[in-house]
Structure 1
Amino acid sequence: MKQLSIAALALLLSFQVQAADSFKVCWSIYVGWMPWGYGAEQKIVDKWADKYGIDIEVVQINDYIESINQYTTGEFDACTMTNMDALTIPAASGVDSTALIVGDFSNGNDGVVLRDKDSLADIKGQRINLVELSVSHYLLARALETVDMTEADVQVVNTADADLVALYNSGSVSAVTTWNPLLNAIIAEDDANLVFDSSQIPGEIMDLLVVKTDTLEANPELGKALVGAWYEIMGLMSGDDEAGIAAREAMGNASGTDRAGYEAQLAKTRMFYQPADALALVNSDELLDTMQKVAEFSFDHGLLGEGAPDAGFIGVEGPQGTYGNSANTQLRFDTTYMQMAADGKL
């Protein structure tokens, strides 16, 4: 009887270690993630946190990859990232993570640009400047498939995103793959031709809010507060009234552009302003097909870890099942909280 009591006490203490009332969320500047900064500034996140009796600190990290690294090493409970980076950084590091919110997918915000060439077929033999092993690299690989080429037909040149616009404008590079707002700055040049963009692979480059699975399971209030805040912000920023215009202007200014520039990026983003729109993607058969493509690219480029024997090494769970090794599931697309939002139960 004494042993049972000790075991029960240990279990209780374990739960108390996991349960918490204070959480940290990090985000970085990108069209689909600016709402987090705005929501924090306008106290919308605080309002929803208060509703569920918790505290949520929202922190902007200037370096995108560094934000994911900090999430992976335990400094944050949640972080904004793409589906590919969720697989190749935290999941590949053994950090079981859940895509709590699928906020949007790139619908033209990422693209391949050639100087003085108007056909993707002209890319053969060219040096392509991009951020290696990023979603730009993935986009390039998918673009090459459409013209029966592989990366062996081009030369990938790893280039910091901060240098891409200046390099193109200098005339020293002839081909670039990048994302907005850099993409819009480059294609504004007279000799720049956009020959492929993410609208041609719809739904493959997703922007997520990812939460540690064990944290979410122990603290469902966190999921409810974050999702509730998100869809309140979505309702606000999607409006054509003064409040919506002011929200988009603030987000544009915060991202280093203005309202017109931000709205130009939104036009190339399939924002899921309604939870039902996000649910349609996550519940579709295409979700795991997309993650298989992402996993295959990631495995081919050594991004799933040194011991990964194949592209299915890491299990990716969705409503329709699991792609890869279900015994090593490290990335999950959970519709629970988005469905609560759709049902008006938050």
Structure 2
Amino acid sequence: MALAACGQSAKTTSADGIAAEAPKKEFTIGWSIYAGWMPWPYAQEAGIVKKWADKYGIAIKMVQVNDYVESVNQYTAGKLDGVVATSMDTLTIPAAGGKDTSVVIVGDYSDGNDGVVLKNANSIADIKGRSVNLVELSVSQYLLARGLESAGMKLSDIKTVNTGDADIVGAFASPTVNAVVTWNPQLSEVKKAQGAKLVFDSHQIPNEILDVLAVSSATLKANPALGKALAGIWYDTMAVMKRNDAAGAAARAQMAHDAGTTPEGYDSQLKTTHLYYTAADAVKLATSPELMTVTDRVRQFSFAKGLFGPAATSVDAIGILFPGGKTLGDANNVKLRFDPAFMQMAADGKL
């Protein structure tokens, strides 16, 4: 994070606070396996990425990073121009690390794709006193906190054990591990374990675990063609993916293959993913008061858990800019921007 912050300070900034950056032609976007993000690698394989990149005279490469948090870290360090992530992790890793970041696509929210699973339990109340394996300081910990809150408990009532998302399934297979929090496709697997019970999931907190495409604000400002191409790619892919015919089934089957699951397994995961298939629906959320409300809840949790870093003395340390010029936090230190401009262009047919 320090490297990202130093890199930012070396650049000149304009009136909007975004660092100046030289235009370029080649871009890399990082992705990791998750139901709502599989359209990106499919788009590259199907030629949709090339179609839209060619239209704007640029080249875009979708890069898989096996570990989700590592993908966000690589973006923060400047190794990627953009990354798919949750809005919370976008706030607490790059934005908190000083990297000015713009959300250009609101893709989906987890509608049951993230969950708390216990062995030999009846409800979330049975988690008290247990050690819980999860990716610490991620949306899994946020979901856990919301689940505990629903049962009148706090994070201090349990112990967390930091576990990489790639290791969660193996950990839960151990007889000594009886509580995990994870997301799909790992969630589907841990639920199959003997004695496993899903006791709380993201269906109970709609729009709070929001999955987005985040891009460097400086890169986006210097290269608006990137934002246009990415919006074109996404909604072109959404149009194919939601089709109830052979073409739609083939697209989803390829996404399933890329995710390491069966078409049936992937369709099951999509049922717990609320995808914003149309640009108009995504813009509606991005410009709604609800987005500010849920983002405020997420930032309050993040600051309380120290995720803004030791230098942050207040929940308002990081400015978050919303459409219409509304802000949460320090308007003079905006590091996270919800920018619906490219989604709006897609909705208006102006890409």
Matched residue, 2:343:
338
The one-letter code sitting in structure 2 at the alignment partner of 1:164 is I
Match of 1:325 in 2: 330
CA RMSD, Structure 1 to Structure 2 (Å): 1.6
Tell me how far apart the structure 2 counterparts of residues 263 and 70 of structure 1 sit (CA, whole Å): 30
Q: Is the 8 A contact 2:134 2:161 kept in 1?
A: yes
Letter in 2 for 1:213: S
Secondary structure, aligned partner of 2:296? helix
Change (3 A) 1:162 1:55: closer
Is residue 137 of structure 2 the alignment partner of residue 136 of structure 1? no
How far apart, CA to CA, are the structure 2 residues paired with 1:50 and 1:149? 53
Question: Is the alpha carbon distance of 1:156 and 1:17 closer, same or farther for their aligned partners in structure 2, counting shifts above 3 Å?
Answer: closer
Deviation (angstroms), 1:190: 4.2
Change in 2 beyond 3 A, CA 1:147/1:215: same
Deviation at 1:55, TM superposition (A): 1.6
Query: What is the alpha-carbon distance in structure 2 between the residues aligned to residue 218 and residue 341 of structure 1?
Result: 20
How far 1:78 sits from its partner (Å)? 1.2
Pick aligned residue for 1:148 from 147, 152, 155: 152
Q: SS at the partner of 1:294?
A: helix
Q: Residue in 1 aligned with 2:3?
A: none
Say whether the 8 Å CA contact 2:280–2:347 is kept in structure 1. Answer: yes
- Counterpart Cα distance in 2 of 1:290 and 1:170: 36
Q: Does 1:58 align with 2:62?
A: yes
2:7 alignment partner in structure 1: none
Secondary structure, aligned partner of 1:250: helix
Q: 1:160 to 1:66 in 2, by over 3 A?
A: closer
Contact 2:238 2:277 in 1 (8 A): yes
CA change 1:95–1:17 in 2 (3 A) is closer
SS at match of 2:267: helix
Which residue of the partner structure matches residue 295 of structure 1? 299
Change (3 A) 1:262 1:281: same
> Which SS does the other structure have where 1:19 is aligned?
coil
Match of 1:245 among 249, 264, 283: 249
Q: Residues 150 and 231 of structure 1: is their aligned pair in 2 closer, same or farther, counting only changes over 3 Å?
A: same
1:47 positional shift: 0.6
CA distance in 1, matches of 2:140, 2:63: 25
Structure with bigger gyration radius: 1
Structure 1 residues 141 and 16 mapped into 2: Cα distance closer, same or farther (>3 Å)?
closer
- What letter corresponds to residue 176 of structure 2 in structure 1? S
More moved, 226-235 vs 72-81: 72-81
- Secondary structure (helix, strand or coil) at the match of 1:170 reads coil
Letter aligned with residue 327 of structure 1? N
The Cα shift of 1:17 comes to: 5.3
The reply on whether 1:104 has 2:108 as its aligned counterpart is: yes
Equivalent-residue separation in structure 1 for 2:20 and 2:210 (angstroms): 34
Q: Deviations over 1:229-262 (max 9, x none)?
A: 1100000011111111011101101111111111
The aligned residue for residue 26 of structure 1 is 30
Q: How far apart are 1:192 and its partner, in Å?
A: 1.1
Could you say which residue in structure 1 is the equivalent of 2:264? Answer: 260
Alignment partner, residue 207 of structure 2: 203
Contact 2:21 2:222 in 1 (8 A): no
- The C-alpha deviation readout for 1:307-338, integer Å capped at 9, x for no partner, is 10111210111125111111111001111110
5+ unaligned residues in a row in structure 2: which ranges? 1-13
AA aligned to 2:349 is G
- Describe the SS at the equivalent of 2:99: coil
- For 1:106, the aligned partner's letter is S
Residues 2-55 of structure 1: per-residue CA shift (max 9 Å, x gap): xxxxxxxxx9xxx99522222221211111111110111111111111111212
Alignment of 1:38-49 (within 5 A): 38-49=42-53
**Structure-1 separation of matches of 2:290 and 2:129:** 33
Cα deviation 1:132-158 (Å, max 9, x = unaligned): 111111100111111111111112222
SS in structure 1 at match of 2:96: helix
Structure 2 vs 1, CA of residues 154 and 276 (structure 1 numbering), >3 Å: closer, same or farther?
A: same
TM value normalised by structure 2: 0.91
3-state SS in 2 of match to 1:263 = helix
Q: Check conservation: 2:20, 2:222, Cα contact below 8 A.
A: no
Structure 1 stretches lacking a partner, 5+ long: 1-10
Find the residue that maps to 1:90 and give its secondary structure.
Answer: helix
How far off is 1:189 after superposition?
2.8
Matched residue pairs, number? Answer: 333
What pairs up with 1:174-213 in 2 under 5 angstroms? 174-213=178-217
In structure 1, give the amino acid aligned to 2:237. Answer: I
